[in-house]
Homo-oligomer: A and B are copies of this chain.
Amino acid sequence: MSGDAPGRDDGPRFDEGALRAQAGAILGAWGFGPDPVEKSVDGLVWADLRGIASHGVAMLPIYEGWLRAGRFDVSAKPAVVAEGPVVATVDGGSGMGFAAAHAAMTLAIAKARRLGLAAVAVRRSNHFGAAGRWATMASDAGLIGLATSSTVSPAIVPTGGLAARFGTNPIAFAAPGERGAPFVLDMATSTVALGRLMVASLRGEPVPEGWALGPDGRPTTDPALGYRSRLATPLGALPELSSHKGSGLAAMVEILSVLLPGATLSMDDPGPGARGDVGHCFVVLDPRAFDGGERFGATLDAMLGRLRATPAADPARPVLAAGDPERAALSRARTHGVALPRALVASLREVAARAGCAWVLGPATGPV
């Protein structure tokens, strides 16, 4: 996690402003307009500040590859193509997923404020960063938010199978407290995100049995095997631990994110040159529209407080509520900056050079 306090050498540290400036310079140089640049910078740095390094500026080298492969239309503007009082479908025009997701969640929030509930599905989008970013837009507005997304290619092997059929299809769910922090669940429906296999692979470290499968469909502890061949397990990991449930959740996300708006299935890996057609779904509920609404925030605070007070197996590791680790990382990042691995800094420097934009990532607060 890039939000750790300084200690071991995590690489140089940068403050939020530097990360924003560098990401904005690269995205602008690629030809994206002010709105997609702003929404993308917000989303990428939101993740980096919360220790979700796999969904932060580390995505820029990957976006560069997708840009060259023709997945992005830099001039796209999200457009509402179907709308009712509490539902809508947004066409992202194959632009930045952050811009489409922001437009869709903004619309869902406005609709839910009026009638207590809304759902907006999005097609022809691209990667929208951390799903928790969008669910949190709702909780910041005093509402409950659900965000789901398909992915560009499949990575989850259904229980008993030898090939991936679903994306790592994330689910994020956020709910607002009264005085306390919101509940923010943000999870891939795979056992772990592909990014964790990538990191273990780079470090040459074995992974727990159950994270990934070998080509024979049996669990492997070799992260490179699982990462390269994109054979991740669904949540539950192993058949005897109910991995069919994670597989089912991944399919549910596909139904909401792809089938509702009419996007491309994660299992239909697009060839080179294909425009982005990732799908998302956003659902927003207003607790005040329900009879428990008046006590909702206070009850959530109490429930999460009692959850955190659960007797812990290891007293040094208290029980956490979903969202707690990211808030702790945010606090550390505000003080110490965000550490980026040296290899990533080098990669970003090359991306910036190829984009023909300034190298503004600085000043680092640690050794470069």
Contact = CB atoms under 8 A, between A and B. Distances in A.
Interface of A: 81-82, 84-87, 89, 91, 115-119, 121, 123, 144, 157-163, 165, 173, 175, 183, 185, 187, 191-192, 208, 210-211, 216-218, 235-237, 240-242, 244-249, 251-252, 254-256, 258-263, 265, 267, 283, 285, 287, 289-293, 295-296, 299-300, 303, 306-307, 310-314, 317-322
A159 B319 contact: yes
Contacts of A183: 251-252, 255
Contacts of A313: 160-162, 216-218
B311 A162 contact: yes
28 contacts: A82-B289, A82-B291, A86-B86, A86-B117, A87-B117, A87-B289, A117-B119, A121-B292, A159-B319, A160-B313, A160-B317, A162-B313, A173-B252, A175-B259, A183-B255, A185-B249, A210-B240, A211-B241, A236-B237, A236-B241, A237-B242, A244-B320, A251-B322, A255-B300, A258-B299, A259-B292, A262-B292, A265-B299
A103 to B, nearest CB: 15
Contacts of A175: 255, 259
A314 B217 CA distance: 9
B161 A310 contact: yes
Contact of A237 (B161, B241, B322): B241
B312 A245 contact: no
A263 B295 CA distance: 11
